[in-house]
Amino acid sequence: ATYFANLTSVLIVYDSNYRLSTCNTYHAVNNFCLQELYLNAIQHAFDQQTQRGHVIGLQWIDIRSMNSTQYEEVILNAVNLVTEGFITVLTNTTAFLHARYSATRNARLRLKDKYYLFLCEHEDPVEFLGNELLQFYPHHLMVVPSSKNSNYEIKQNKADRIPNARNVVKQTSWSSGNATIKTTSIVTTTEGTSAFRNCKQCSVHRNFNFELWTQKYVGIAGNLDAQHLDTYVASERTFLKNTELYPDKLTKLQGRTLRMGSHTYLPYTSTNYVPPGMGNVDAIDSQAPNRTVSFIGSEAELIISFCQNYDCHLRVEPYGENAWGDVYDNGTGVGMFGGLFAQHIEFAIGSMYDWYHDLYEVSREIAASTIKLVTPGPALHRFASRICLGALLFATLTLENTYSGQLKSFLTAPLFTDPVDTIDKWTKTNWKWTAPSMEWIINIEHSDLVKDQILTQKFEMNDLDFLYNASFRDDYGLGIEGLFSGSFTFGKYITAPALEGKIVTKDALYYAWTVAAGVRGWPLIPLLNRHISNCFETGLYIHWEKEAAAQILDRPTHDILGKLAAGYKPSSPPQKLTVETATYFANLTSALIVYDSNYRLSTCNTYHAVNNFCLQELYLNAAQQAFDQRTQRGHVIGLQWIDIRSMNSTQYEEVILNAVNLVTEGFITVLTNTTAFLHARYSATRNARLRLKDKYYLFLCEHEDPVEFLGNELLLQCK
């Protein structure tokens, strides 16, 4: 009981029916009843631990006359009562393993069991320890009797025998007053076998040794092989090798295969088959280490480093893109979750939430995930109403000056509609939002919040082609995911051109944490949790996430989303250059064309103009024709024509100022002195009430020198 001394409770399972039918026979009297001996030794050992201050809750379960259902039920109840250690004295220990595994699959409590002690009599170690269920309980010890003259005893190597051997030193604790003191307790042969000496058949049992076995578990191959640990020689009351009876099998897996499933969901994981030698991990179904799977991403680095630390051989099963999968009520499943439920894989990772915690063993939280929406940006108000309001502003100019701008807030018309930049505003629209899988709404589809119910109803799952087209529409939103490092992940259907005029919601649809999942009872979960914590404490995971986002995601789209989330409006993407003058002005609300008819009248009627051409006239006609073409295509642009003929500088500056205050976004000049326009425009910049930035300037010149004109510092104000 030394190994069980620090446990809170221990369950002892025995079969009194075997004791009653066997231990009272003629052979039992002339030999000895081993099961009775086991039980007496257990009771005596725990009594000694109690005398030393170790209060251990013992549960004794007699399975006599129990059927399999009752058997599983009593084991399940014991597990739910925080049982940490198990000792069995049975003739069929395999049946106990099945009952214990049933409890593992159905228990509410997920504490990992510490130790198992199987006290057997007739069971074969090779056959029993080859049971796959023992891989869920690696810290076990099987004790079987053997004759001194058995074949195994003859094969023992006496060279490793230690004279006067005693069992290993274990750390135990006992309470003295208010302090808990660690003491060293050495269990000698005399203490450990006192129950043997009290037995009536003690003279007979000395002809037997006890062989100590365990399942190998670790290593590249032969994980289910029986491994002999030590031999207890009853006649000498000592162990041959004095080895560790419960060796640590988890921290050094010695190349044991870890069968893992993953899918592609950037930048967490990108899992794909590649030609041999081109990947970084092996596939599950491959026969040799041929590196046929590419496994990269932030969570992929987490698992790869886990296997490097604990010396396991990672084999990965790719499940495709966005292939979380599902498990159905009939016990079948698809995708990654289906493979995990069928135990084709023992572990899965790839931006998973705690969706199936009742079916799987879930790790601690890995990274925070924030679900937001990319929504249509504010729309422009109708231009006709803006013309009316502009006329109203002119009509009330005197009144506005009189009241020193006290009415400005009432007379200024908003240029755009109210942006739908919060989830609350989104629920009040008739827009839909979409994503490529139903996993986007699993966290909210059963919520009792009205907002979540509305957003669930507005959700549509669509294919990638539809999602790409929807990204350009003004009545659809697309789901994006905020990463723990501060950036965003998005599907390939979201591109940089589609983000023009879009916004990102300020608040989140919901928050969640990603996890990893293993089959129920997977013994490596505590080690993985420790590894996750270490990666966060050292900043490794954030580094991996930023690195994966930079390498895997489309960088321009990634940067634009970051700016949108921060409140910045990205610059329009480059447009194809055409011969039409108005192409760049097509998306503007209004443009101002400034010309000088005096030059046209004095120049275009001369002999040279007839024999050659009048360039300024050509400029103006081309501008008019170009804007007429844009109007025919549906681009309604407010054009203002200003003739500066016979204007002085004060009048010139005043008309430019009025135009700026009417939300003029583009300027086209057809002048002989464009520099004078720059001065008038700069005067308007200094005095205008409206601070909108102008989009484009087009200077159509004839005699001006580009070097001299473009050297003007005022052009720094013009983009």
DSSP letter for each residue of 345-371: SSEEEEEE-SS-TTTEEE----EEEEE
Mean pLDDT confidence for 119-127: 93
* 2-147+204-239 matches 579-718 in fold: yes
Range in 250-264, 296-310, 325-339 with the lowest mean pLDDT: 325-339
Q: How confident is the model at residue 382 (pLDDT cuts 50, 70, 90)?
A: low
Asked whether residue 304 carries a pLDDT value surpassing 70, the answer given is yes
CATH T-level assignment (fold) for domain 579-718: Rossmann fold (3.40.50)
**Percent share of the chain, pLDDT over 70:** 79
Residue 121 has φ and ψ, to the nearest 5°, of -130, -55
**Percent share of the chain, pLDDT over 90:** 48
Mean pLDDT confidence for 324-333: 90
pLDDT of residue 503: 92
pLDDT of residue 389: 63
Asked whether residue 388 carries a pLDDT value surpassing 90, the answer given is no
Asked whether residue 12 carries a pLDDT value surpassing 50, the answer given is yes
Which of 54-63, 624-633, 656-665 has the largest mean confidence? 54-63
Asked whether residue 560 carries a pLDDT value surpassing 60, the answer given is yes
What are the pLDDT digits (tens) for 700-711?
998 889 989 988
Q: How many other β-carbons are positioned within 10 Å of the β-carbon of residue 239?
A: 23
CATH of domain 250-379+483-573: 3.40.190.10
What are the pLDDT digits (tens) for 413-442?
555 567 888 999 999 999 999 999 999 999
Mean pLDDT for the chain? 81
Angle at 473 between CA 384 and CA 389, to 5 degrees: 15
- Helical spans, DSSP H, in 473-614: 525-537, 540-552, 555-565, 597-603, 607-611
Q: Where are the domains of the chain?
A: 2-147+204-239, 250-379+483-573, 579-718
Nearest 10 degrees: Cα torsion 32, 35, 38, 44? -90
Asked whether residue 507 carries a pLDDT value surpassing 80, the answer given is yes
**CA-only gyration radius of the chain, Å:** 41
Structure tokens at 226: 């029986």
Domain 2-147+204-239 has CATH 3.40.50.2300: yes
What are the pLDDT digits (tens) for 521-546?
999 999 999 999 999 999 999 999 99
Rounded distance between C-alpha atoms, residue 98 and residue 520, angstroms: 14
Mean pLDDT confidence for 6-29: 72
Q: Which of 35, 260, 5, 225 is nearest to 115 (CA)?
A: 5
Mean pLDDT confidence for 479-508: 91
Is pLDDT larger for residue 36 or for residue 603?
36
Per-residue DSSP letter, 164: T
pTM to 2 decimals?
Answer: 0.68
Asked whether residue 65 carries a pLDDT value surpassing 80, the answer given is yes
Are residues 256 and 312 in contact, defined by beta-carbon separation less than 8 angstroms?
yes
Q: Which of 184, 240, 191, 162 is nearest to 1 (CA)?
A: 191
DSSP reduced 3-state for 383: helix
Mean pLDDT confidence for 133-139: 95
Q: How confident is the model at residue 402 (pLDDT cuts 50, 70, 90)?
A: low
Q: Point out which residues pair with 61 in neighbouring strands.
A: 13
What are the pLDDT digits (tens) for 151-201?
444 343 333 333 333 333 222 222 323 322 232 232 323 333 333 334 444
**Residue 689 region by backbone torsions, left for phi larger than 0, else alpha for psi between -120 and 50, else beta:** alpha
pLDDT of residue 401: 58
Q: How confident is the model at residue 384 (pLDDT cuts 50, 70, 90)?
A: low
Asked whether residue 203 carries a pLDDT value surpassing 60, the answer given is no
Buried b / exposed e over 656-672, threshold 16 CB at 10 Å, is bbbbbbbbbbbbbbbbe
